[in-house]
Every structure is written in C-alpha cells, then in structure tokens.
Structure 1
Amino acid sequence: EEARKAEEARKAEEARKAEEARKAEDARKAEEARKAEEARKAEEARKAEEARLAEEARLAEEARKAEEARLAELARTEPNTYVYTAASLNNSDILEPIKKDSWTNEDGLAKLVAADGSGKGESTQSVSSSSVTNGKVLNIQAAYDTYSNNLNDSGIAGVSARGTVNGRNANDAMVIYSGRSTNANELETLKGSAKYQGVSYLTNSEFISEGTVTLNANFDKKTISGDITQMHFENIWRETELSETAITAKNGEITFAGNAKTTDKGMINIPLSGTYEGKFMGRGAAEVAGSATLTNEWGSETKAVFNAAK
C-alpha cells in the first residue's frame, strides 16, 4: 500500500512538473510571440517613418526646385530700370528751373513722373531764379503749370511755362513719360488680347491739354493700335488715330512705333500727321506709356504723352 501511494505521489509530482514545464513553455512562446509582434510593429513604424521622412524630403526638394525656378523666372523677366524721356516744343531755357529741384538738387523731371502709383497731380508755381547753366547766365521769372499721372510702373507729365529769360519774353511746353519697361523675355509668354485705357497730355503752345488714350494690343499677332481723344466739355475736341503697328522686342524692352494722324472727328479738323512710339511697362505688360509727335501743313508741332493700364 505504501509502495502504491509512493508511486501515485511520484506520478502526481511528475504530472505537476510536466504541467509547470508546459506552462513555462507556453509562457516562453507567448513572450517570444509578443516580442516578435513588438519587433514587427517597431519595424513597420520605422519603415513608415522612413517613408514619411523620404516623402517630406521629396516634397521639400520639389518645393526648393519650384522656388528656384520661380526666382529664376522672376530674375529673367525682371522689369528694366526706371528711365524717363522728355521733349519740349521750343527747347527754351525757361524750362531749366523745372528740370532740377533748386532746394534738393534732385532731378525735377524724375520727381514729376516717379511711376509710384500716386495717380493724377496738378500744380501751379511761380519761380524767380538766377543760375549759370551750360556756361550761360540765366535770370528767369516764370509761371509753370504742371499736370501728371503716375501709375504703378509708368508716369507722364505735361509742363507749360510762361515768363521771361534774361528780360525777354519766353514760353514753352514739355511732355515727359517714364517707367520700368517690361522685360523683352516676357514677349514670348504674353498671349491673347489686352485693352489699355488711360490719360494723355498734349500741347502745341505754352498750354497743356488733357485727354484720354485707348490702346488695343494683340499679343498673338504682336500688334497694337489705338487713339488719343481730347475732350472739350462733352464734345470731342480732337481725335488722333494711332495706326496698327508691330509689337517688337528691342534692346531688352517690348516696344512699338507707328504712324499717327488726326481723324475728322472733333471740333478742330485741321489735319495733323506724324508718329507715335511707346513701351510696355511693368511685369506682365501691366501698363503702357509713350509719346506722339504730329505736325500740320505749316510745320507746327503738337506733342503728346500717354500712359494706360490694362
């Protein structure tokens, strides 16, 4: 009996140990499986992070290249440096005080046509000055009427002068236009048609007359045409036709030059004929500015400047 009990106890102990061993093995396998799952998830997370970082790097590189390309294109199509062009009827010395600011010694004409988006301006001033210009002593007493129109990238002005130079009566008028001309590299990308409307100043004496200008550009055909209209109250005083001409790239600018003539519309119908020229101004040819010179059958000149925006 004792032997039987001892055998039973031995078998029970073996069974207990076997069960403990089985549980330990199950626990070991479960731990290995847990660790393997953790390792799998960690690897997945590592790969996902690598993929995320790689995508971020790719997008950052694409953005960098796109920004480089944008900056390169901006540099390639940067508008040209500001310049102005001025012309007077009589080339009289009476205009000298307007050309330079006597207080600051700054360029007075550049200030008039600053192309700073300030819009229309009008002023009247009287000047009494004594100076030596180009070796000449000039004593000037004069009154000046100034009209200007400054858009963001172009400016125009008309100046009339009446008075005396060294005691002799003198009068004259000047028209000026300025701007930052559109880069010629943009001509290849300008497409379709654009209508420009704006202001003009005309003179054939010591007085300035304001008018309107309309220009129609066809960038597909590379042509431009338009008209300048002077109004007298509600009536057309004079209309000048700007004949169709070619738009061309020249000296890094987008320019045009063509023929101009007055039409039979208007209260004044003495025929005038001549030429006009101009440039597109600003990025994307946002504006246009130019001048015109016309003469009548007796050779008397009319000068005009204009600027307009799309």
Structure 2
Amino acid sequence: MYVIDLRQLELKHLVALDAVAAEGTFARAADRLGYTQSAVSQQIAALERLLGVPVFDRPGGPRPVVLTPLGAELLERSRELLARVDAMSLELDLFRTGSAGKLSIGTFQSASAMLLPKIVARMRQQFPSIEMHVIESDDEEVLIKALSTGEVEVSFLVGEAPSAAESVHLFDDPFVLVARPDQFPEGPVRPEQFADEPMIGQHPNACQLAGEAGLRAAGITPNYVYRTNDNSTVTAMVRAGMGVAVMPFLCVEPEDPRVALHNIEPPIPERSIVLAWRQNRTRSPAAARFVELATEISRDLSGQRRAIA
C-alpha cells in the first residue's frame, strides 16, 4: 500500500498547484509565475509523483485542466499554508529591520524613571510594533542572572558588566546633594556644610552604602531620620523640609524646581552606568537600536548633569 510522505514536499510545488488551479492552464500559470511552461509542468509532475496520484484531470486541447478530488483537498490546505508562509515572511522581514518583534529589558529604579521612558518613547516612534517587556530590580544579581539566562536581552547595570557579557558605558553618575531651594548658596557644597542636617536615605543597598561610605570618608556621620526604597519618596521628604539627601544624579528629577541639586566637593566616587548584553550572541535589530538610543539619550543626560549647581 502506497503511503504519502510529504517530507519531500517543497513550497514551489504548492505555488505551481495554486497557479495552475487559478489560471486553468499550464501556459497561463507559467505567465503568472514568470516561469516557462515546462518548469510549471515539471513542478506538477514532481508533486504527482510524490502523492502517487494526479492532482489535475487533463482533458487535452484548449480546455482547462480540472482539479481531481485529492487535488482540490490539497489546494485548500496548500492555500492555508502559503498564506501562513506569506505572513511569516512579512513578520520576519519586520523583525529583520527592527520594525517588529519582542525586546526584554533589565533595569533598576533610577534607570526606569530617568532613562527608560525616553528610550522607549523613541523606540515607539520608530518601531510602533515592537513589544517591550521590562524586569526591574535594584538587586544587581537579579539583573545579571536575568541577562545570563536570556530572560532579558539587554540590561542596565551599575559598575562593570560580568565577564560573560558585552557592554557599552553610558555615563558616570555622580552623587549630589538634594536640598530645598535657597537652603544652601548656589554652587558646590562641602560635606561639613550639611553635616548637622537631618538626612533622608534609602534602606541599605549598594548605592546607599556607597554614598554613606563617601560621607564617612569625608569625616561625616550622617544622621538619617527617614529611610525608604523609593527615590521619589526621598525627594518628597526633602521638599517637605524633613532633611537633605545624598543621591546619585540619576535618582533625581533635575527639572524639579522644588528641590536644588548641588555638586559635592570633594566628590563622592561616581557610579558607572552601563548597558549590557550577552557575549557572543547576535543581538536582535530591536536590541541593537535600543543600545544606540540609550547611548544618545545618556549623552544628553550627561549634559544636564554638567549643568547642575
């Protein structure tokens, strides 16, 4: 008993079947496809050998060919398959150009607030069909693990990227003093100028501990009266007059007129902000464009940083 094995089936066989069925003759099908008539005949003959039965009845002369029952069944399924192939071709072309696809991004709180919205807005303008998914954590190890496992394709990180990743340095993020307007003279402030002020800070994390270490190195023992993990709450407490805060520049909205930002002299060591992706892996077009935009926008943000008091 003959068993049909479609593993040798090629799309060109189905394209020829569709064209002949639509046009009624091999000659008109050849014109439609831009092939020779013999090439179309060869494709149909190869298909019939594969199936073991004819797909067309050929009455001869000028009369059109007619699908056999099996040919009609195959044509219906073939058109469904060809439509899916056409759709897949379009989707892959959009993905290849970066116009569509998915992009997973790792980020931390301050990057989410100050960098990510600007980058995503530009991405949406250029590639509205891209679906973006964000994983946010202030725990660096969580982001590194998400990057190493492929859960995210790119990730913002503080400091050096792990050895299994490639990265681009975006900018160095300085610690600044956040105070109420007119609380201190314009320009840089020295740690001893705010040594007696109550302070607002975060619960211990890498960033907070780095800031505290910098203050202690300057001979200051900070008096924290309130701690929170939310950057916006820190600045809200400063606005309310509860104290001052020492935070990385990226953690603060620089255009907020209700607070003043001051450089600290001598400065607390800056933190390095990088964007990383897995080493020896081809980045998707969307990820490549994301890296380009992140670099451009970070350059603008660095200009804002240089303009603070």
- Superposition TM-score tier, normalisation by shorter sequence: under 0.3
TM-score, length-normalised on structure 1?
A: 0.20
Structure number with the higher strand fraction is 1
TM-score, length-normalised on structure 2?
A: 0.20
Highest relative contact order (Cα 8 Å, sep 6+), 1 or 2? 2
The structure with the larger Rg is: 1
Structure number with the higher helix fraction is 2
